[in-house]
Amino acid sequence: MIEIRNLEKSFGESKVLKGVSAVFETGKTNLVIGQSGSGKTVLLKSLLGIFTPDVGTISFNGRIYSDLTSDEKRELRTEIGMLFQGSALFDSMTVSENVGFPLRMFTNDDKHKIQDRVDFVLKRVNLIDAHHKLPSEISGGMQKRVAIARAIVNNPKYLFCDEPNSGLDPNTATLIDNLIKEITEEYNITTVVNTHDMNSVMEIGEKIIFLKDGLKEWEGTKEEIFRTDNVAIVDFVYSSNLFKKIREAYLKESH
């Protein structure tokens, strides 16, 4: 579990986070949504320790990050997996080398143990024949699965995903959503996903935090998002005619 309390963050005269509090639950896909400039990227980078909040606390299973020693912070970083927006694979490394990179960086495991773990996670994301290929030799969806394998290779307790469906076709995006959800539940990870993809909200939004202008405007589940009368989130989520019709049908059916 990750708990944030009253987070504030400013850059110069611009106040980006304005007292945001939330709990990200273990074993669930916790989604952070909002328009560009809402503060969700700054929030994610604060959770990762890239930005230091001006006010407020971030705790990982009861450990307040700002109270940790340098060694404790380094140890915490080994418990974190990160799925970057553009996958961020190393072009000159094979799929297998990319996935094994965190183990080579953060453990003293020998090459045989590393390879066994790499083989295991690649099999888990349904990539059993891509070990020796370069990122340029596989599709965007496969690259994303490699990135997921790399993010979980170190058995993380916390998984952060930044726009995981960016640049993917709808079918592949759904596969990636489902894979993230399955892995979260299977390994009991605290997963936080930054997204603007409303399909992701409907597919895997077990807990949703909606940010607007640096404030937490709303929180709930994908079921509750259909019933909310919060104007800001209704305007954001149901901006397209398709989603408006889906909501109308849901509300009609539930009465």
Which domain-ending residue is among 130, 155, 180? 155
Tell me, yes or no, whether 102 and 228 share the same domain.
no
| pLDDT score at 251 | 65
Q: Would residue 87 count as lying in a domain? A: no
| Residue 68: predicted pLDDT | 94
Do 206 and 137 fall into the same domain? no
**CA-based torsion, 205, 73, 43, 146: positive or negative:** negative
Q: Is residue 102 part of a domain?
A: yes
Residue 179's Cβ-side half-sphere holds a number of Cα atoms within 13 Å equal to 27
- Clarify whether residues 63 and 23 are in a common domain: yes
Residues 165 and 216 in one domain: yes
140 within some domain: yes
Contact assessment for residue 21 and residue 4, using Cβ atoms and an 8 Å cutoff: yes
Is the domain of 53 the same as that of 164? yes
| Number of residues written out for the chain | 255
**pLDDT at residue 241, as a whole number:** 66
70 shares its domain with 168: yes
> Domain residues for 227?
2-79+156-254
Q: What is the mean pLDDT of each run of 10 residues along the chain (255 residues)?
A: 96 94 96 90 94 96 94 92 88 95 90 94 91 94 94 95 88 91 95 89 90 94 85 80 66 67
Tell me the C-alpha distance between 222 and 27, whole Å. Answer: 16
Amino acid residing at 148: I
pLDDT at residue 250 in the model:
62
Q: Distance between CA 174 and CA 181 in Å, rounded? A: 11
Chain-centroid distance, C-alpha 18:
21
